[in-house]
Amino acid sequence: MDRIRIVGGNPLHGTIPISGAKNAALPLMIASLLTDDTLTLDNVPHLADVEQLIRILGNHGVDYSVNGRRERQQGGHGRTIHFTARSIVDTTAPYELVSKMRASFWVIGPLLARCHEARVSLPGGCAIGTRPVDLFIDGLRALGANIEIESGYAVASAKGGLVGARYAFPKVSVGATHVLMMAATLAKGETVLENAAREPEVVNLADCLNAMGAKISGAGTATIRIEGVDALHGARVQVIPDRIETGTFAMAVAMTGGEVVLEGARADLLENALDILRGTGTEITPLNHGIKVYRNGAGISPVDVTTEPFPGFPTDLQAQFMGLMTMAKGTSHITETIFENRFMHVQELARLGAKISLNGQTAVVEGVAKLKGAPVMATDLRASVSLVIAGLAAEGETVVNRVYHLDRGFERLEEKLGACGAVVERISG
């Protein structure tokens, strides 16, 4: 099993290319199920989750071809992948595939819309909370689907097709917004989604669906309207740059000091997080081609933060920010409101010398003057990269185990950091 070895203490200097967003690429790939034409996606990152979803889509009969890099090679440009679901050969998404990645459950929406039936295993993914699928099921039922849970599967049918309806999400859910928006594109009549997620990835998906012939308005606001159409066609769409990767590398620079240009990053996709990072004493400058991040080595100021749906501070940056706050000059409070079990990195950061106590949903972080390297273990995707950030500033050697979590969401992490002066390497086996 691969590990990542880090020798801390080096500031970062250089340029890091930002990859396409995993959280945008996955729903865009799933949208290919909605048409028998080819959907072409540019700037697709090379990630384990992308490869897993390709296998899941292939199980349904989706053919694909790839232009560009197939392996983790130097260069900041993602791949172009063509997806063609000429015919759906199987409407079942089996447990052995879906259990490995939560987002694969989202195929239930397009399969219901196009084939009027689906049998999808209940999902797996990172162990950061229950993350139930009740919002998906309730929303699809509102569109006329009949759904029963049988032996660990959601068995859904919609004889005659889905029908437009008004549905208000009881809580904001990015995944459920993706699914209902895709399903509603082929429903009869108008669907109105209230309290919808406003994340940039939702907008990217809506733009894709509109390019395919859908009629969607309001994406990026709390109310999305979808006028159903009879059929969708092919399109070519670009995956937006990864705002979570952008924030992660920005926090790495804030942790170590130095100056790095995040090439291809878009400041408008994470303004709240960048403003909070500025509060730590880090300089953030938007550029025409990305974002420049600079910290001159002065102390890190403590900042309190609460995770919120977009446009608030992303839960997917909470662990990384906690890593940064471990060396702040003072005490910070980090409150997690999205997932109930997303503090699993606390005990691993403590192995590096961090002082963190938990009080319900809030972590109290007392900054220390220095961290010391140690062997640590990744518990989920974002927690694993928080350990990397801390290791970059820790004295001595840090070895992060179980880095397959990292490979799910970060493309060529050690290469990108190494090119900017970090002492970091992947150890195989």
Please state the residue numbers annotated as binding site: 22-23, 102, 131-135, 171-174, 316, 338
Mean pLDDT score, 420-425: 98
Please state the residue numbers annotated as binding site for phosphoenolpyruvate: 22-23
pLDDT tier at 175, thresholds 50, 70, 90? very high
Given a cut of 80, whether residue 131 has pLDDT beyond it is no
Q: Per CATH, which fold does 3-16+241-427 belong to?
A: UDP-n-acetylglucosamine1-carboxyvinyl-transferase; Chain (3.65.10)
25-238 under CATH 3.65.10.10, yes or no: yes
Check: CB of residue 26 under 8 Å from CB of residue 1.
no
Measured distance CA(353)–CA(396) in Å, rounded? 12
Structure tokens at 176: 């459920």
Residues annotated as part of the active site: 126
Please state the residue numbers annotated as binding site for UDP-N-acetyl-alpha-D-glucosamine: 102, 131-135, 171-174, 316, 338
> One fold for both 3-16+241-427 and 25-238?
yes
With residue 86 as reference, give the H or E element that holds it. none
**What's the sign of the alpha-carbon dihedral 166, 170, 172, 177?**
negative
Residue 293 has a pLDDT of 98
Residue 73 has a pLDDT of 43
Look at residues 100, 1, 3 and name the one whose alpha carbon lies nearest to residue 414. 3
**Domain segments of the chain as ranges:** 3-16+241-427, 25-238
Measured distance CA(385)–CA(321) in Å, rounded? 10
Residue 77 has a pLDDT of 64
Q: What does each C-alpha distance from 158 to 29, 114, 141, 192, 199 come to in angstroms?
A: 23, 10, 9, 19, 29
Report which residue type is found at 130: T
Look at residues 82, 72, 121, 69 and name the one whose alpha carbon lies nearest to residue 99. 121
Q: For the chain, what percent of residues have pLDDT higher than 90?
A: 85
* pTM listed for this prediction: 0.94
Q: Please, which residues bridge with residue 121 across strands? A: 153
pLDDT, one tens digit per residue, over 270-322 is 999 999 999 999 999 999 999 999 998 789 999 999 999 999 999 999 999 99
Check: CB of residue 209 under 8 Å from CB of residue 185.
yes
3-state DSSP assignment of residue 329: coil
Report which residue type is found at 222: A
Backbone angles phi, psi at 239, to 5 degrees: -70, 130
